[in-house]
């Protein structure tokens, strides 16, 4: 007769291995760490959005009331938030006089003044994707996707993230990836940004290079409205924005440079979008595409430093918005192999793959349209 003891002693390949009590205990401890870390990520997002982290960084050791007053917030909520920060070893608590302090070593990674190293900005993705959990669970059961409109703060969070990962590196690292590109922009060329979001990258480029002409396309009317208003506020005359589905672009031979930042994998028709970008470029025109640094093969992503985060964002947003529009659901982790294949299928040649120093999250693809 087979017993539980005999089942747990099986070691034959293909069968259940012996139950390892120590391994199980370690896993349970890891689960507790995951639970606490997830909670802290959410609370750090709140600390970023309310300005509490920035306020703490500027104060000497202070009471919860002093902190709340400085941040113009409700003390009771601030005190409970501080409880999470203290037990999470982010904020130091002095029990003798009930004061709190954010160490400078921690503030260097958690405040707006620390940008581009402000990880509190990225923490916002955790509550963002958590906000659509019910809809995602329904998709697991029924298929389909979740439309962009369901993600109320997505463009705001992405704009903050882009300001750290792209805009801060634009002049010194990204543009220099292409020899002579800054000189061409200074002289004057035509540029299009596909999936421009709030347009902050184009606003930056347009202010730096007044002789060039910039066009931004995005599906969201809300972000295009914001981008236009910001252009007016900045007094920029050389940049325009338009609500446009990139799969429906009919322009040909219009641009010297095409850009997309973390946008292609979300598309409903990514192959057609890439073909449209190819046609919109002039002969020898350049396409600079930024996407997540990853392999198309899961087994090659096992040691990715933010693999769980990126797959989670992909499952809860990137894949879902593509599937909602009838797309293939490439996902953020579609990877370099598939990206190269799709660029080549669209007609691009002389494709270079580049990474920036100290950026383990993004890959930059430089692809040219053939001369005619």
User: 208-260, pLDDT tens digit by residue?
Assistant: 999 999 999 999 999 999 999 999 999 999 999 999 999 999 999 999 999 99
What's the pLDDT score for residue 44? 99
273 φ/ψ angles, rounded to the nearest 5 degrees = -60, -45
Domain boundary assignment for the chain: 25-112, 127-369
- Token reading at 327: 């797309």
Rounded Cα gap, residues 231 and 240, in angstroms: 8
pLDDT tens column, 113-143: 999 999 999 999 999 999 999 999 999 999 9
Cα gap 210→198, rounded to integer Å: 19
Dihedrals φ, ψ of 96, to 5°? -60, -45
What's this model's pTM, rounded to 2 decimal places?
A: 0.91
- Please give the structure tokens belonging to residue 294: 């990853």
Query: Which token pair is 21?
Result: 């009590």
CB atoms within 10 A of CB 162: 19
Instruction: Name the CATH superfamily for 127-369.
Output: Vaccinia Virus protein VP39 (3.40.50.150)
Query: Which whole-number Å values give the CA distances from 81 to 73, 100, 118, 194, in the listed order?
Result: 12, 12, 19, 39
Burial of 309 (0-12, 13-18, 19+ CB in 10 A): middle
CATH class of this structure's domain 25-112: mainly alpha
Specify whether the CB–CB gap between 77 and 134 falls below 8 A.
Answer: no
Same fold, 25-112 and 127-369: no
Distance CA 129, CA 151 (A): 8
């Amino acid at each position: 007769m087979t017993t539980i003891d005999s089942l747990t002693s099986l070691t034959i390949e293909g069968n259940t291995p012996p139950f390892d009590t120590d391994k199980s205990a370690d896993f349970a401890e890891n689960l507790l760490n995951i639970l606490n870390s997830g909670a802290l990520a959410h609370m750090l997002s709140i600390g970023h959005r309310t300005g509490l982290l920035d306020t703490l960084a500027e104060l000497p050791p202070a009471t919860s009331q002093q902190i709340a007053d400085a941040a113009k917030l409700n003390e009771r909520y601030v005190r409970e938030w501080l409880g999470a920060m203290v037990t999470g070893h982010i904020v130091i608590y002095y029990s003798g006089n009930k004061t709190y302090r954010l160490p400078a070593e921690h503030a260097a990674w958690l405040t707006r003044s620390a940008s581009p190293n402000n990880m509190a900005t990225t923490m916002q993705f955790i509550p963002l994707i958590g906000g659509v959990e019910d809809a995602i669970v329904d998709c697991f059961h029924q298929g389909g996707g979740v439309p962009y409109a369901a993600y109320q703060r997505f463009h705001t969070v992405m704009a903050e993230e882009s300001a750290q990962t792209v805009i801060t590196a634009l002049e010194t690292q990204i543009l220099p990836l292409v020899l002579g590109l800054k000189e061409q922009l200074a002289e004057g060329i035509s540029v299009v940004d596909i999936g421009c979001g709030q347009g902050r990258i184009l606003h930056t480029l347009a202010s730096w290079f007044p002789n060039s002409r910039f066009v931004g396309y995005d599906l969201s009317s809300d972000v295009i409205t914001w981008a236009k208003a910001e252009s007016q506020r900045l007094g920029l005359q050389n940049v325009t924005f338009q609500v446009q589905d990139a799969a429906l672009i009919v322009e040909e031979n219009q641009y010297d440079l095409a850009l997309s930042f973390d946008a292609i994998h979300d598309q409903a028709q990514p192959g057609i979008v890439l073909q449209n970008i190819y046609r919109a470029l002039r002969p020898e025109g350049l396409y600079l595409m930024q996407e997540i640094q990853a392999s198309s093969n899961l087994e090659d992503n096992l040691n990715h430093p933010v693999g769980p985060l990126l797959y989670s964002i992909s499952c809860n947003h990137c894949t879902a918005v593509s599937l909602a529009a009838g797309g293939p659901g490439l996902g953020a982790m579609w990877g370099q192999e598939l990206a190269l294949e799709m660029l080549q299928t669209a007609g691009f040649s002389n494709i270079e793959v580049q990474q920036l120093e100290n950026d383990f999250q993004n890959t930059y693809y430089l692809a040219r349209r053939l001369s005619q």
